[in-house]
Structure 1
Amino acid sequence: MSHISRYDPFSMEGVPDLFQGLFRPLRAAGGVEGQAGGIRIDVTEDEGGYTVKAELPGVEKNDIDVKIDGNLVSLAAKIERGSELKEGERVVRRERYSGSVSRAFTLAAEIDDEKASAQYKDGVLTLVLPKKVASARKRIEIG
């Protein structure tokens, strides 16, 4: 026996399936949401400041650039993969990213860039970013 169902021309059922993967190439190129070529980070906060851990596997320490401007933190890295082909070999598939990646994010408090420190070990960049001590507010008399 067949099952009879009513057709609804305004139904949104099935619409998400139409767009499955439509934006995937853009996300992969920009490194969004942990796709290839992106910088994945973890940020923790305590009373004194922030700790940022960024995954940068295969990057040389000299190829990493960190900039702090107030509460804006910018990370950039250059990833180079040398040609590892021997005579008679050919590339069948290449998935490892080569090029430059960058990421910028803002934190809730300004950073004391004079006391900030960075360490790079085993493909993880660790930034210790102390918060800037708030200066006392000065009241200005209106004359």
Structure 2
Amino acid sequence: MNKSSEVKKIALEKKSDLKDKALEVKKGALEKTADAKESALMKTSEIKENAGEKTAEIKADTSDKTAEFRENAEKTRKQAERKINEFISTLKDKQEEFGKTISDYTSQKPLTDVLETENSYIIKVDLPRIKKENINVNITEDSVEIQAKFDEEDETLEFIKKERSYGDTSRIIPLPEKIEVKKASAKFEDAVLTVELPKVQEEKIKVKID
């Protein structure tokens, strides 16, 4: 074999070796690419799975919080309604109590006028449905107390509205100045008590002029 043939043979062998190495490199690259794709797919699947779990957890947590919020809101609404109803009920009771107090006060205080003349005070008191023997008049130097007793209604009856006076009533009337207690007089006519109270007259002493 001549040198030329030997060189060609060596060149062919090297070329074959290079092809084998190229094929081996290509095969390795393909295997690495496949591994990378498989790893990427596995990562993607894992990420999707984790994302799905997180989404489910968030949805469940949101649902729980929404239910809890609605429950708390319902409790708050019921508590507010109960407080409002209690307030309205208390207000109604107070109104009824106040109305009864006003009614009792106006019904138990007989209407009275106090008149003044030059020498006396005259007191007139409306006392309807009262007998004269159920009236007492007590006088001091500077006040008059009038006591009276209204007849009670039949106890078997139930009131729907009550404005008239019943039972004992009294009225103390202060006077602007002292009166002559022993000279006072009273009369009862047409359901009106009239009390006349003479004023204390200052004693006048005539002074002799020298």
Q: TM-score, normalised by structure 1?
A: 0.66
Kindly provide the CA deviation profile for residues 113-142 of structure 1, in whole angstroms up to 9, marking residues without a partner as x.
Answer: 111110101111011111112357xxxxxx
Shift of 1:94: 5.8
Given the superposition, is the C-alpha separation of residues 121 and 84 from structure 1 closer, same or farther in structure 2, using an over 3 Å criterion?
farther
Aligned 8 A contact 1:116 1:128 in 2: yes
Residue aligning to 2:160:
93
- Structure 1 stretches of at least 4 aligned residues deviating more than 2 Å after TM superposition: 20-29, 81-85, 90-97
- Report the aligned-residue RMSD: 2.7
- CA distance in 1 between partners of 2:100 and 2:159 (Å): 21
Computing the radius of gyration over CA atoms, which structure comes out larger, 1 or 2?
Answer: 2
Structure 2 alignment gaps of length 5 or more: 1-90, 205-210
The one-letter code of the counterpart of 2:102 is: R
Matched, 1:66 2:134: no
Matched, 1:115 2:166: no
Structure 1 alignment gaps of length 5 or more: 1-17, 137-143
- CA distance in 1 between partners of 2:155 and 2:99 (Å): 29
Secondary structure at 2:183 match in 1? coil
2:198 to 125, 130, 135: 130
- Higher RCO (CA < 8 A, seq sep 6+): 1
Aligned pairs for 1:36-55 (under 5 A) are 36-55=107-126
| Identity fraction in percent | 32
- CA distance in 1 between partners of 2:202 and 2:100 (Å): 44
Residue aligning to 1:77:
148
- CA distance in 1 between partners of 2:189 and 2:149 (Å): 16
Secondary structure at 2:107 match in 1? coil
Secondary structure at 1:114 match in 2? helix
